[in-house]
A = this chain, B = another copy of it.
C-alpha cells in the first residue's frame, strides 16, 4: 500500500528512546511516494499512575484504526508485577488476536555470542500468542492462608493450535532448509501434548516438502546452546515460546538485537511489532539502549505490510552496522539510529 498509518506506543523506560530511532529509520527507508502517518499513544506506567487505566475499550478502538502498531517497551518497577503485563501487553495480544508471535534469531557476522566457537544461528520461532498458560484462566482460593491453592490453566484448542501450526509450516516451506520442529513437553503435559502433536502431524501431510521433528522443551534448551544450527523454524506454545526465545536471543547476540512481531495474519486487527527486550529502567534516559532490536522490529513490520525491499534494506543496514561496531558499545542510542538511517537511505 502507498501509505502507512502507524500507531506508536513508546511506553516505559528505554521505550521512548528506541522507538524514536525506529521511526527515524522507518522514515529514511520509505520511498517518497509512501505516506507515513503516525499517532502516538501514551500507554504504560505514567498513564496507569495518573488514571488507573492500562488499556480501555476506547483505546482498542483507536488502535484498531491503524495499519500496524510499533511498541517500545511496557513495564516499570513502580507498578506491581502483572498489572501492565496482563492489563496491557497480554490484553492487547488477546484483543487483537495476535496468535502468531514471530521471533527470528540470527547471529549476524561480528556479533558477540556467549557460545564458544561462532556457531551458525538462523532460525525462526513461531510462538502461539493467544492460548496456553497465558489465557489468565485459573484462580486462587483461601488466599494468604496456609491452605491457599492457586491454579493456572493452560487452554489449548484445535482451532488455535492448527492455525499457528499451519502458519509455521508455510513459513518453513518458504525457507531454503524447509524444516519445522515442534517443541512441547508431550510426555508430561499429555492432554495438550497430544493435541499439539496430532495437529502437527495432520498439517504436515499438507506440506510434504517440509522435514519435521519433535523435541521436548527441556531438551530444546540444550540444543539451543550445543547445536543451534539444527533449528530452522520452531513452532511452540505460548509459554515454551516465551522461555526459549529469550534463550534464543541470548545466544544470537542478546536482547539488544532481538525483534518480534505479534501478528494477526487475517488482517482483522493491526499487528504489533516490538523488541523482545523490556523497558530496562536501570539504563533509561541515558542514551545507552541499543535501538537495533526496535529497528529490526520495524523491518518485520514493513515485511508484514508488503514492503519487502525496504525490510531487507533495514536488515542489511543493521547487519552492516553491527559488523562494523565489533561488539563495542561506542555510540549512543541516537548515534546508532542516525547511522542506520543513513545506511537505509542509501
Which A residues have a C-beta under 8 Å from some C-beta of B? 81-82, 85-86, 90, 113-116, 133-134, 136, 138-140, 142-159, 162, 185-195, 197-198, 217-219, 221-222, 224-226, 239, 242-247, 249-251, 254-255
Contact = CB atoms under 8 A, between A and B. Distances in A.
B226 A85 contact: no
A246 B225 contact: no
A280 to B, nearest CB: 12
A217 B192 contact: no
Contacts of A159: 146-147
Contact of A193 (B82, B189, B217, B244): B82
A188 B86 contact: yes
A150 B146 contact: no
Given A243-B218, A247-B225, A250-B225, A152 B192 contact: yes
Contacts of A190: 81-82, 86, 136
A78 to B, nearest CB: 14
A99 to B, nearest CB: 16
A194 B151 CA distance: 11
B250 A222 contact: yes
7 contacts: A85-B188, A146-B162, A148-B157, A151-B153, A152-B192, A188-B242, A243-B243
A245 B222 CA distance: 10
A241 to B, nearest CB: 10
Given A152-B153, A152-B156, A188-B239, 6 more contacts: A81-B190, A138-B189, A185-B239, A188-B242, A218-B247, A222-B250
